[in-house]
Amino acid sequence: HEADLAATERRIEFYSDKSGWLQQRVKDGFDEVATLWDIGQKLNDERATSDKLTILVSSQRYQIAQHAGEQWETLLAYLEGVGELGDQVAQR
């Protein structure tokens, strides 16, 4: 799921950039409102997918961490990118 989430975040970035560019073109008088609407829909879909994948990834990390016994909180922090395994694992 993490790879899917990363891909979705890249598409969100792309669609956001394209949306901004199209909005500027519409302001400048070009008639691309339909294209802007399509990009807005794609951007909304990707944001929804990102939210869904974020929840799935979080749940998956928690499930994996539960297999670490007493050290589950340490492993969860590591999987979330906010902690290190370091000496705690080496001591075991």
Q: What is the pTM of this model?
A: 0.66
Please give the pLDDT value at position 30. 77
For residue 50, give both structure tokens: 């990102």
Range of the domain at 14: 2-90
Please give the pLDDT value at position 70. 92
Place of tokens 């969100």: 12
**Total domains present in the chain:** 1
Q: How many whole angstroms from its chain centre is CA 42? A: 15
Helix %, strand %, coil % for the chain, to 5? 85, 0, 15
Place of tokens 């519409």: 26
pLDDT in tens, the chain (92 residues): 889 999 999 999 999 998 888 888 888 887 777 888 888 899 999 999 999 999 999 999 999 999 999 999 999 999 999 988 875 554 55
Residue 51 to residue 81: CA distance in whole angstroms: 18
